[in-house]
Amino acid sequence: MSLTGKEVAQMHKDYVMQSWARSGADTLPVERAEGIYFYDYDGKKYADMASLLVCSNLGHELPEIVEAIKEQADKMCFMAPAYASEPKSMLAKMLVEAAGADTYKRVFFTNGGAESNENAIKMARMVTGRTKIFSCYRSYHGATLGASNASGDWRRYAAEIGGANGFVHFMNPQMYRDGYTKGVDDAEVTKKYLDALDLQLRYEGPGNVAAILMESIVGANGVILPPDGYMEGVRALCDKYGILLICDEVMAGFYRTGKMFAFMNFDMKPDIITFAKGVTCGYVQLGGCIVSKKVAEYFEENVLQCGLTYSGHTLACAAGVAAMKYYKEHDIEGHVAEMHEIVAPFMDEMVKKHKCIGEARCIGLFGALEVVKNKETREPMQEYGVPGPVMPWIFAELKKRGFATFGRENFIEICPPLIITKEELEEYLPILDEVLTMVDEKFCD
């Protein structure tokens, strides 16, 4: 089968229902991908500066992962979850050890991030015998029923029609948007938000709350870095009331923040870690829950009422083992630290240079620029929940110049593959600078 780019794009337009968009819109047909790049059918090259959906941590067509998939396909593509397979057993051990075998014990595998959070919610309810799940407004946890209801942004609305019970949202801090300065006002903001959360827990009845589900570092809603002491304070509230803490590491895990898991940037540990994306870098779909000894031991005495046909899918786990080996053998942690020293100063320079950039947030290679109309008032270029033309224009101009990324509301995400080089950053970051200069001239007060 050999189709032209126009044919592929037209068939997509005619037959595919597009995620989070109206069906029938034009889209870019992609023919191939390699390294940090993907290519359209005309041969135009695009630098993948968002790791697609912050999942292609090791870039595209990495030979080590591709070969692992091929080798496993020659032996056995799939085996049912009730049977042990070498890739599944190995990957579970590697993940427990990476999270910390002193605290964590077992892994339940899923097909992706949404199902990881869905099953973590079910586990928390079973372990505690409680119903309510607290989660943040500034969050996204996936598109299945429970994960959608736990999500805070607008993508939960359709799931609330008929809905699921027991989901309670609380407001998590976004220091810039709240009028504060990171590194200056942390103690004040931490106290304010923890006091508010404690009060809300008491109004909901702490004895009714099974878990607090949080992204360790909020991803798709703008790479929001918590104020100092906030995550530790949430952990303390969970301990105070006997609530489980679930950290969603779907986007932030696997060295995206410079640490294996983002919670490792703080002095706390969750009871359940949910993961996906970077475990296979998207080569084959895979997710899961890494559970503490306490949670694991509960299910040694009680039946785990969670199950998926493709739990621990053999090909996916083979890809996961190869990815985990690559992270370690190629010191991705060290490489991310080096590349951070290029990206973070560049982002800070964009704040100083451009009228349209109010704040830069970056940890590891997990970054976002906040686009504003006016720096003095911090008025966002696009208000939450109010569609506007400016942000789509920015992303279109970037893509036109071969810089592919995404954002939401008034954020531009900068999350390149973790294998990106100094030379590649120096080639493509100036494109962002160029487009922001145009934004200053066209859209800022």
Q: Which domains can be identified in the chain, with CATH numbers?
A: 3-60+330-441 (3.90.1150.10), 62-328 (3.40.640.10)
Write the pLDDT tens digit of every residue in 9-20.
Answer: 999 999 999 998
- Quick one: what percent of the chain has pLDDT higher than 90? 94
Radius of gyration of the chain, Cα coordinates, nearest whole angstrom: 22
Does residue 30 surpass a pLDDT of 70?
yes
pTM over 0.75: yes
Write the pLDDT tens digit of every residue in 37-76.
Answer: 999 999 999 999 999 999 999 999 999 999 999 999 999 9
* 3-state DSSP assignment of residue 170: strand
The DSSP result for 319-360, as a single string, is HHHHHHHHHHHTTHHHHHHHHHHHHHHHHHHHHHH-TTEEEE
**Burial bucket for residue 281 (CB in 10 Å: 0-12, 13-18, 19+):** buried
| Helix 230-241 with 186-204: angle, nearest 10 deg | 20
pLDDT band at 164 (very low <50, low <70, confident <90, very high): confident
Does residue 236 surpass a pLDDT of 70?
yes
- Quick one: what percent of the chain has pLDDT higher than 70? 100
Tokens of 47: 């630098």
Write the pLDDT tens digit of every residue in 313-367.
Answer: 999 999 999 999 999 999 999 999 999 999 999 999 999 999 999 999 999 999 9
Does residue 445 surpass a pLDDT of 80?
no
Burial 369-380 (b: 16+ CB within 10 A, else e): bbbbbebeeeeb
The predicted structure's pLDDT at residue 161: 86
Beta carbons within 8 Å of 21's beta carbon, 6+ residues apart = none
pLDDT band at 387 (very low <50, low <70, confident <90, very high): confident
Write the pLDDT tens digit of every residue in 74-113.
Answer: 999 999 999 999 999 999 999 999 999 999 999 999 999 9
| Of the candidates 253, 321, 249, the residue with the CA atom closest to the CA atom of residue 283 | 321
Q: How high does pLDDT run on average in the chain?
A: 97
The predicted structure's pLDDT at residue 385: 85
Antiparallel, parallel or unpaired: β 272-275 and 357-363: unpaired
Greatest C-alpha distance within the chain: 65
Region of residue 229 (phi > 0: left; psi between -120 and 50: alpha; otherwise: beta):
left
pLDDT band at 408 (very low <50, low <70, confident <90, very high): confident
Does residue 1 surpass a pLDDT of 70?
no
